[in-house]
Amino acid sequence: MPADIRSLSPDELLAHASFLRGLAGELVGALPEEQRTVLYLRYFEDLMPTAIAARLSVPVKTSKARHKPRSRQRTAWGGFGPVRARRVSGGAPSTSTSTCRRPKPARLTPAHPRSACGRA
């Protein structure tokens, strides 16, 4: 993928888009039927996991689990899309496919009105 997509001509953009469509088709086609079905319902019919679960008569956790391979497919794209492989210490690419998340800030006040040591 070029460093600056704005430098491509219209013909190059069309060729690149065609390549990406073909790659997406191959990746989705390689998934088992039940996972393809969940992806279709989620992205083409715009259903949420609870509605997908109801449509397929499966538990919500099952519909979410069948949607999970989507993040694994991002890795197979070789860095296309919102998630890219990143280097970790040692120089090896990370296998994490989650989106970048900031760590939660330290809590400055206790969760309850009284702290564990009895102070208010």
Taking only the tens place, the pLDDT of each residue in 53-92 is 999 999 999 888 887 766 565 665 555 554 444 444 444 4
Spatial separation of the C-alpha atoms in residues 113 and 119, rounded to whole Å: 9
Report whether 83 contacts 98 (CB < 8 A): yes
Spatial separation of the C-alpha atoms in residues 28 and 57, rounded to whole Å: 22
| DSSP code for 80 | -
Q: Encode pLDDT of 99-119 as tens digits.
A: 445 555 555 555 555 545 555
Spatial separation of the C-alpha atoms in residues 15 and 13, rounded to whole Å: 5
Its pTM stands at 0.46
% helix / strand / coil in the chain, to the nearest 5? 50, 0, 50
Residue 102, classed as helix, strand or coil, is: coil
Q: Encode pLDDT of 30-53 as tens digits.
A: 888 988 898 889 888 889 999 999
Spatial separation of the C-alpha atoms in residues 107 and 96, rounded to whole Å: 26
